[in-house]
Amino acid sequence: MAKKKGGSASLPPVPEEDVVLFREAVGDVLPLRPTGRRFPPFKRLKPIPHQSLQDDHQVLVDSLSDHLPWSEAMETGEELSFLRPGLSRQTLRRLRGGHWVIQAELDLHGHTSDEARLRLAEFLNQCKKRGMRCVRVIHGKGLRSKNKEPVLKVKVKNWLMQREEVLAFCQARPADGGGGAALVLLKAAG
């Protein structure tokens, strides 16, 4: 008699007519011979913490605000650039010169500011998990925007400055997108 796991109650008996129907359905089928193989115990999957995932997602969205003013001191020449304090200016020169291979890119063309902020945060998190060092973020030149001004360009730069894993960024070389893209140097994994 089979017992329920963790209890003493037994399963109800199977009605005789069900046994007859089963025997008719299987007909001349013979049971397989025992092979001696053992199957691993069933692994119960861990529950998915939906609320925690939603909270983490909201923290991502909230962590990149539009309210950080762009400092004129961070501009060099005609292009915008950023170098985390304490790093050598050589790092920025090497980034501009293509020292690091671009390992991934994100194209934000056609996205609203809110969509772009979320996509950028998700992209940077994925790059961080994969241990990427240099990425390109295409924000566009603003040629199709209302006032023909690059709306996302300044916002992307503000968002990037707020990310701890961003060491430096600069305008991409003409071959890599020029004024419509930024090359971003991320912290090494470790």
Ranges of each domain in the chain: 74-186
pLDDT at position 127 is 93
State the architecture of 74-186 in CATH terms. Answer: 2-Layer Sandwich (3.30)
Mean pLDDT of 8-13: 75
pLDDT over 70 at 156, yes or no: yes
Least confident of 38-52, 67-81, 114-128, 145-159: 67-81
* 58's tokens: 């909201």
- Give the gyration radius of the chain's Cα atoms: 29
Least confident of 5-14, 58-67, 69-78, 154-163: 69-78
Angle (nearest 5°) at CA 182 between 116 and 190: 90
Mean pLDDT of 16-38: 87
pLDDT in tens, 101-134: 999 999 998 888 899 999 999 999 999 999 999 9
Q: Which residues of 67-94 are buried (b: 16+ CB within 10 A; e: fewer)?
A: eeeeeeeeeeeeebbbbbeeeeeebbee
Residue of 73, 100, 94, 95 whose CA lies nearest to 85: 73
Mean pLDDT of 131-138: 94
Least confident of 5-19, 46-60, 71-85, 126-140: 71-85
Phi and psi at 146, nearest 5°, equal: -55, -50
